[in-house]
Amino acid sequence: MSTLLRLATAGSVDDGKSTLVGRLLHDTKSILADQMDAVERVSRERGLTGADLALLTDGLRAEREQGITIDVAYRYFATPRRSFILADCPGHVQYTRNTVTGSSTADVIVLLVDIRHGVLEQTRRHLAVASLLRVPHVVVAVNKIDLVDYDEATFRAVEIDIRHVANGLGLTDVTVIPVSALVGDNIADRSSITTWYHGPALLEVLEELPSGDDPRTQPLRFPVQYVIRPQSGALDEQHREYRGYAGRIAGGVVRPGDEVVVLPSGRHTRVVGIDLADRELDEAFAPQSVTLRLSDDIDIARGDLIAAAEDRPAPTRDLDALVCWLAERPLVEGARVLVKNGARTVQAIVRTIDAKLDLDTLVGRAAERLELNDIGRVRLHLAADLPTEPYARARHTGAFLLVDPQQAGTLAAGMVVSTDPDGGDDTDWVI
């Protein structure tokens, strides 16, 4: 049975990321004939002897003119063994926020490294993002191997640097592959030239990786996004008394009869029905979007969390968290922000900035502020209870956004390290 894998690409500018994505689309026969004809025509007009596959992915006019990827673009392709959703993320440091967005739902990050330049600051930043977001798998494609005459020693030196950085960030599942996106070496098929490399080609790795976590091993987490209660507005009289809670299951499995708790109120109740469109389900699991009906008529609003009664997060007003700062203006202690966790938004104040990650040494350094694209550790005090939990335990309910309360713009992507700010280690960047 074909399974779905979500992947995100990352890499510095000019590392060949767009060409790699184009090569994957081309080699998996995911390009329409007229698209390929257009790429070949434009390539000839530019004086190229072959098709520039990067033209397949740089969809915006500004991207084509500047030769860089600006916005996250989602591509879809498939092989006989698996379907893929690919988030093509920008490489320019200015668009790190887009990389964070594209990586946040990925099962694997494919990180491009130009073998001639080796590990750069942007490489470290992207690996740090993969670590912070707990992306399950990382594949590093050491690109342009053809430009160093397929030299093994050059590849091995870069591989050692990559693994040193990855180990420092706590990344354990890292695969390093020598590739040439331009020529196609070790992309869809193993290259006959890199005889010293005995590992799989990139597409082989992507076809074999497990996708996502098994929801059956996770406790139920159901953020309520909408309360459905039509009352006198019901088109059908039998729905006049209907009361359901709609949302997307963030983790776990739910069945009629399950005892659940509504947070932050702490009220207990049971699930009596699960609705999906016009049919009723015996079971639902992450990431399905469904409507739950409960046995008790209790006060539940958008932003509340319905969780497994036997395994639930404790609402808290204090967070120890890692943030990737995405705003032009710096973050300083005492700043007032909004914390958006799932469908719930609460006011908060930045109590302290404990450290900023030094991308060269991978050590936290004392800092008074966080600038654009800095990764830092902060402590937040919330104005209301928030039913969240450590990101290491629950990827969806442990993530949040910091939002500007005046402009409503996104300031940072955050991951909860602990709901006990006095119990953590300020220098531990592995969450």
pLDDT for residue 61: 47
The closest alpha carbon to 413, from 135, 133, 136, 137, belongs to 133
Q: What is the mean pLDDT of residues 259-266?
A: 94
Query: Looking at 122-243, which runs of residues are DSSP E strands?
Result: 137-143, 174-178, 221-223, 226-228
- In the structure, what pLDDT confidence band is assigned to residue 431 with cuts at 50, 70 and 90? very low
pLDDT for residue 375: 86
Contact 372, 325 (CB under 8 A): yes
Q: What is the mean pLDDT of residues 311-318?
A: 92
CB atoms within 10 A of CB 240: 13
The closest alpha carbon to 412, from 326, 354, 341, belongs to 326
The closest alpha carbon to 296, from 313, 275, 271, belongs to 271
- In the structure, what pLDDT confidence band is assigned to residue 349 with cuts at 50, 70 and 90? very high
pLDDT (tens digit per residue) in 26-42:
888 887 777 778 777 87
pLDDT (tens digit per residue) in 204-237:
999 999 876 666 778 999 999 999 988 777 777 7
User: How far apart are the C-alpha atoms of 228 and 289, rounded to whole Å?
Assistant: 14
- In the structure, what pLDDT confidence band is assigned to residue 60 with cuts at 50, 70 and 90? very low
Which structure tokens are listed for 257?
A: 């009869």
Q: For 77-95, give one letter per residue: b (16+ CB within 10 A) or e.
A: bebeebebbbbbbbbbeeb
> What is the three-class DSSP state of 334?
coil
| Residue type for position 161 | D
User: How far apart are the C-alpha atoms of 72 and 95, rounded to whole Å?
Assistant: 9
pLDDT for residue 224: 95
pLDDT for residue 392: 83
User: How far apart are the C-alpha atoms of 325 and 322, rounded to whole Å?
Assistant: 10
Phi then psi dihedrals of residue 262, to 5 deg:
-100, 125
Chain mean pLDDT for the chain? 86
Q: Is the dihedral of CA 333, 334, 340, 344 positive or negative?
A: positive
pLDDT (tens digit per residue) in 142-165:
999 999 999 999 999 999 999 999
pLDDT for residue 75: 83
pLDDT (tens digit per residue) in 376-419:
999 999 999 999 999 888 888 899 999 999 999 999 989 999 98
User: How far apart are the C-alpha atoms of 397 and 134, rounded to whole Å?
Assistant: 13
User: How far apart are the C-alpha atoms of 315 and 416, rounded to whole Å?
Assistant: 13
pLDDT for residue 226: 93
Question: Between these two residues, 85 and 359, which has the higher pLDDT value?
Answer: 85
pLDDT (tens digit per residue) in 103-134:
878 899 999 999 999 999 889 888 988 888 88
pLDDT for residue 72: 66
Whole-prediction pTM: 0.75
What torsion do the CA atoms of 23, 24, 25, 30 make, to the nearest 10 degrees?
130
Which structure tokens are listed for 293?
A: 């009906």
Q: What is the mean pLDDT of residues 167-185?
A: 92
DSSP per-residue codes, 382-418: EEEEE----TTT-TTTTEEEEE-TTT--EEEEEEEEE
CA distances from 377 to 325, 332, 385, 404 (A): 10, 12, 21, 18
DSSP per-residue codes, 104-116: TT-SEEEEEEETT
> What is the three-class DSSP state of 24?
helix
Using only C-alpha atoms, the chain has a radius of gyration, in whole angstroms, of: 24
Q: Which of 31-35, 46-50, 170-174, 228-232 has the highest mean pLDDT?
A: 170-174
H-type alpha helices, 110-194: 121-132, 152-168
pLDDT for residue 153: 97
Q: Which of 9-23, 123-137, 265-279 has the highest mean pLDDT?
A: 265-279
Residue 95 reports pLDDT greater than 70: no
